[in-house]
Amino acid sequence: MNKFFTFLFALTLSTSMFAQTKEVIIKMNHLYNGAPFTLNSTYEVDENISIEFSRIEFYLHLNSLISSTDQSVDLEDTYLLVNPEQNEYSIGHHTTSNINTLLFHIGVESELNHNDPTLLLSNHPLAPQVPSMHWGWAAGYRFVAIEAMLDKDQDGILEAVIQYHAVDDAYYTSLSISDASVETETSITFHLDVNYDKMFENINTSNAGVFHGSYPQNQSLIDNIVDNNVFSVTENLSIEEVNTLGTIYPNPFIDILNLELQLNSSIHLYNTLGALIEVYELSPGLHQIETSQLTKGMYIVSINNLGTTEYLKLLKE
């Protein structure tokens, strides 16, 4: 009998711990001058020089998650190889909550930077890539790889090459971002804007050139990534996406929330700790939700229909 109760206690504890785990997701909006960014499209650099990017890739080493109560969750061997064609990255499940800060680095830590990438599993971001992100054991990885063509003489023809391949342990640089997360019962999602235009401010990209390795131009690029808000918090945490399923206003709100829905939808209201406050099953059309009973502060609303869920952070004044 004692063995049965021991087993039951262990099962209950295991289930409780599993129930507290949440998937941590990094969601990125790739932007250039505030508009969606895509490779092989024409943009402007240095105010009026046309540029077309064929490659932008860079490594992020995710170090830890920090809660509002300063509890830290270390992320071991967690790397992202970021490119503009991927918007969402899952970094696993963690038993934590109320996360509001992500600590990370540009690049690859020195211990791994000079290891053999062929020893890693093929799905690891540091494994061999095509095109290659590794420049050899002595040099290490390309922390950032950017390749583009410029219309340097402004004749309508993209004839000048610009390449930044930042390769050096010195480029391993720390960053952090706070107040970018939306938390529910099952997930913590960081919503980041990646503002590529800010990478190239005041570094004379329009002069063209090929900079492979350690160059002042590559250092200026890294400095811009760190200091020029290349990574920023998505305004209103994906309010534009919510508009694809429905519209919620005003934000901030006081006693009433208006919802305009296109389809039958399930609406979930959470506090910032991810605790579910209320569920509304609503039909298409305009609805009003009474919110006078809510205390002042930040809330999260999810809209779900046809298997798609989108989130919006709202402020009660």
Here the tokens at position 15 are: 């289930």
Domain that holds residue 229: 21-233
The answer to the question of residue 9 being in a domain is no
Shared-domain flag, residues 116 and 193: yes
Q: What is the pTM of this model?
A: 0.73
Give DSSP secondary structure letters for 97-110: --EEEEEEEES--H
SS3 278: strand
Residues 80-98: tens digit of each pLDDT: 999 999 999 999 998 877 7
pLDDT score for 234: 78
Q: Is the predicted pLDDT of residue 7 greater than 60, yes or no?
A: no
pLDDT score for 147: 98
Shared-domain flag, residues 202 and 246: no
pLDDT score for 288: 92
18-23: list long-range contacts, CB under 8 Å, 24+ apart.
20/95, 20/97, 21/93, 21/94, 21/95, 22/93, 22/94, 22/95, 22/96, 22/97, 22/183, 22/184, 22/185, 22/186, 22/187, 22/188, 22/274, 23/90, 23/92, 23/93, 23/186, 23/187, 23/188
pLDDT score for 16: 41
Here the tokens at position 49 are: 């020089």
Residues 19-40: tens digit of each pLDDT: 468 899 998 989 999 888 999 9
What's the average model confidence in pLDDT over 158-163?
Answer: 98
- Percentage of the chain lying above the pLDDT 70 cut: 89
Shared-domain flag, residues 44 and 162: yes
The answer to the question of residue 16 being in a domain is no
Domain end point (choices 199, 233, 267): 233
Residues 183-235: tens digit of each pLDDT: 777 888 898 999 999 999 999 999 999 999 999 999 999 999 999 999 998 76
Shared-domain flag, residues 150 and 78: yes
- 146 pLDDT band, cuts 50/70/90, is very high
What's the average model confidence in pLDDT over 68-83?
Answer: 91
Shared-domain flag, residues 31 and 141: yes
Q: What is the CATH number of the domain that holds 292?
A: 2.60.40.3080
Report the domain count for the chain: 2
Residues 253-291: tens digit of each pLDDT: 889 999 988 889 899 888 766 678 899 999 989 999 999
Shared-domain flag, residues 79 and 108: yes
Which is more confidently placed, 58 or 178? Answer: 58
Shared-domain flag, residues 221 and 296: no
Closest CA to 60 of 7, 107, 5: 107
